[in-house]
Amino acid sequence: MRSRIVAVLICSSAVYSGHAVADNRAQAVAAIEECNQFSQFDIRECLKKRAIDSAAALTQAEARAAAAIASWDESDTYIKDAGIKLRAANASFVRDRQVQCAFASSLIGGGAGNSHEIKRLACVADMNALRTFQLDRDTGKLVPK
């Protein structure tokens, strides 16, 4: 999974550049690596913070995307359609993240302690960061009215 995320991010970096986007790409592949230097309890706490911070960044990216679409220099028909599809994509992402991260956590098997939660939190942080990157990339260059 991580190699797939890295591949997507590398390919995407050629399409869109920007400081906030570069930060999101780095976050999408760094959650577990950044937190791995601690004890198991502290890894869990570090990843919990990463998941919370990435959720806040995602909320901001969703708002930026909605604002970019609303002020887009395009026909009202396309603006309305894009807004509807953004809301549907956001809802779908929440469901997909829950399912994907439950799957990732299940791959710990009989792991003890915080292993399952560590895996889930790393997944949430990574997926949020990647989604933030995608929203910024896809709507960041819409020409406003």
Tell me the mean pLDDT per 10 residues along the chain, length 145.
Answer: 37 41 54 80 92 97 98 97 98 98 94 88 96 97 95
Nearest partner of 90 among 57, 62, 54, 123, judged by Cα = 62
Given this model, what pLDDT does residue 19 score? 46
Given this model, what pLDDT does residue 4 score? 39
Backbone torsions φ then ψ of 71, nearest 5 degrees = -100, 10
Structure tokens at 34: 């950044």
Domain total in the chain: 1
Given this model, what pLDDT does residue 99 score? 98
pTM of the model: 0.78
Given this model, what pLDDT does residue 36 score? 84
Q: Are 5 and 29 in contact (CB under 8 A)?
A: yes
Q: Is residue 122 part of a domain?
A: yes
Given this model, what pLDDT does residue 23 score? 57
- Strand, helix or coil for residue 34: helix
For residue 57, what are the domain limits? Answer: 2-139
Q: Is residue 145 part of a domain?
A: no
Residue type, 54: S
Give the number of other CB atoms < 10 A from CB of residue 26: 13
Q: Are 48 and 122 in contact (CB under 8 A)?
A: no
Q: Is residue 144 part of a domain?
A: no
